[in-house]
């Protein structure tokens, strides 16, 4: 959370709103007293362009499904897995 004056908000409104869009919250003061809060709305965009996703995921690590399954079984146990056939019935 950042605190700025009413005058700063008026002078830098584009930069402040860009920060808010990126998730930052601002408290606005007038004569040294906080009078308002500017924060992002709870809604998020639903559509993300493919090229943006590819750019963000380009550096992501590869998931080894077998290793992940083994780690989950080690941590949780391998009994009663969802999707597995019940033991002892054929």
- Per-residue pLDDT at 7: 96
How far is the C-alpha of 53 from the C-alpha of 51, rounded, in Å? 5
CATH number at residue 24: 3.40.1620
Whether 16 is covered by a domain: the verdict is yes
Radius of gyration for the alpha carbons in the chain, expressed in angstroms and rounded: 25
Higher-pLDDT residue of 44 and 15 is 15
Provide the mean pLDDT of the chain.
86
Whether 70 is covered by a domain: the verdict is no
How far is the C-alpha of 79 from the C-alpha of 63, rounded, in Å? 23
- Residue 36 in contact with residue 28, Cβ under 8 Å? yes
Its domain, for residue 31, covers 2-38
State how many domains the chain has: 1
Checking if the pLDDT of 66 tops 60, the result is yes
Could you give the dihedral angle defined by the CA atoms of residues 68, 76, 85 and 69, in that order, rounded to the nearest 10 degrees? Answer: 10
How far is the C-alpha of 65 from the C-alpha of 81, rounded, in Å? 15
pLDDT in tens, 19-62: 998 889 999 999 999 999 999 987 666 778 899 888 888 888 88
Average pLDDT over residues 11-26: 93
């Amino acid at each position: 959370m950042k605190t700025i004056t009413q005058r700063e908000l008026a002078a830098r409104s584009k930069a402040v709103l860009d920060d808010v869009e990126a998730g930052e919250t601002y408290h606005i003061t007038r004569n040294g007293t906080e009078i308002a809060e500017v924060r992002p709305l709870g809604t998020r965009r639903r559509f993300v362009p493919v090229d943006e996703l590819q750019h963000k995921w380009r550096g992501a690590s590869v998931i080894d499904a077998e290793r992940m399954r083994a780690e989950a079984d080690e941590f949780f146990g391998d009994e009663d897995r969802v999707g597995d056939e019940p033991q002892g019935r054929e």
